[in-house]
Amino acid sequence: MEAHDGFTTLVALRAKAGELAALRALSRPEQVRRVQPLLQFDPERKNPAEQLDDVEEVARHLHRLGRHCWIDASDVADRPGFGAGGALGRLADHLAGPADLLDTAWPVPFVPVVRGDATGPSAATLGRLGAELGAGVALRVRPDAADRDTLGRVIERLAIEPGDIHVVLDLRYVAEATATRVERAAGVLTALTEVGAFGSTTLLTGSIPMTLGQTSTWEQARAEEVLWEHLVRGGAGNLRFGDYGVVHPIPGPGFRSNHVALKYTCPHRWLYSRERMPDETGDESARGRALRVVCRHVIESASYAGPDFSWGDREIHEAAAGGGTGLGNTSKPVAFATSHHLAYLATRAAA
């Protein structure tokens, strides 16, 4: 199978508990037939070996489903603990062999992600790794680094044919698809076409704000979808869609909020459900009780897709009905919402 066979939608996820749980819950090839996960190493995690094990497990799992994972270790490039070859070099060594004596689905290729601002030696190393794995590379660029000269230098260092390079134009946080933003993005995409015939080009954006300021339920436009649709209608017919799952695009240090929120993906909009944790004590943690209320709001809305839509939707339904376990875990809302999001993207891509 080609490493990028048939994908129309990219989703950038962090190697954190919630996102990893949602990826592990995928069980059928059709769930990733058109959806390409890009997994980012998380610089906030303290145990490099544990994170490496998690990424390896997910890469093997996706491989069994017929999808090669794109993996970005740029944010941990200078972190000790991954060995002389860095996170991706060590990962490649692990995936070259079986997970255990019964494993027959190996070696496991993956697609290294190189940032547009990577140093010359780093880009050259990742280019060689992509060539060795036979999967090419993904080049993730910000708009200010997507000009002909900058990209030309990076491509020269990668030493890979443009057709084996999959470009991701990363706009990060986009609150609104304004006419100015559409025009600027269109200009960058035009410049990309002048550099070379890349294997694919994806627009990656996210519209979830850093923090939510309301409680109960409300909706917000999915600016990432609106922006992408404007560009496609404007002539970028082969542009692929990408988003950041159910989190804000720019990573930051985590903190334990007094609120619990679910960010539920719907066509062209987000449904947000958020409640403050109760002050009174009970048999269950305050966070778990708040999550049950949040889940109840979702299933009572007209936007709920039903318990059979995804693993996450089933968990949302169970939590709302009084079932489920471990709901006080801070990763649960992201796990449930990401699972629903992956199913939404698969349905959207197949439409």
In this structure, CATH architecture of domain 9-253: Alpha-Beta Barrel (3.20)
> Does residue 143 contact residue 136 with C-beta atoms inside 8 Å?
no
What average pLDDT does the segment 185-191 reach? Answer: 91
- Is residue 240 over pLDDT 80? yes
Find the mean pLDDT for residues 291-310: 97
Residue of 13 and 105 predicted with greater confidence: 13
Q: Which of 1-10, 263-272, 291-300, 331-340 comes out lowest in average pLDDT?
A: 1-10
CA 122 to chain centre: 23
Q: Which two tokens stand for residue 298?
A: 């979702």
User: How confident is the model at residue 220, as a pLDDT?
Assistant: 96
Q: What is the mean pLDDT of residues 219-247?
A: 95
* 191 — pLDDT class (breaks 50, 70, 90): confident
CB-based contact 122:114 (threshold 8 Å): yes
Cα 69 to Cα 9, 37, 178, distances in angstroms = 13, 6, 32
Long-range own/partner contacts, residues 4-8 (CB < 8 A, 24 or more apart): 4/36, 4/68, 4/111, 4/136, 4/166, 4/199, 4/200, 5/66, 6/33, 6/34, 7/34, 7/35, 7/36, 7/67, 7/200, 7/240, 7/349, 8/34, 8/35, 8/240, 8/241, 8/349
The residue-averaged pLDDT of 342-347 equals 96
Tokens standing for residue 178: 């304004």
What pTM, to 2 d.p., does this model score? Answer: 0.95
pLDDT at 194 over 90: no
pLDDT at residue 120 greater than cutoff 60: yes
Q: What band does 150 get if pLDDT is binned at 50, 70 and 90?
A: confident
pLDDT class of 280 with cuts at 50, 70, 90 = confident
Give me the helices (H) in 159-265, please. 179-195, 223-233
- Strand order across the beta sheet in which 259-266 lies: 216-221, 269-276, 259-266
CA distances from 316 to 11, 33, 76, 194 (A): 22, 25, 33, 47
pLDDT tens digits along 30-67: 999 999 999 999 999 889 999 999 999 999 999 999 99
Ordered by start, the domain boundaries in the chain are: 9-253
Q: Is 179 exposed, middle or buried (0-12, 13-18, 19+ CB in 10 A)?
A: exposed
What is the chain's mean pLDDT, rounded? 92
User: What is the predicted pLDDT for the residue at 147?
Assistant: 82
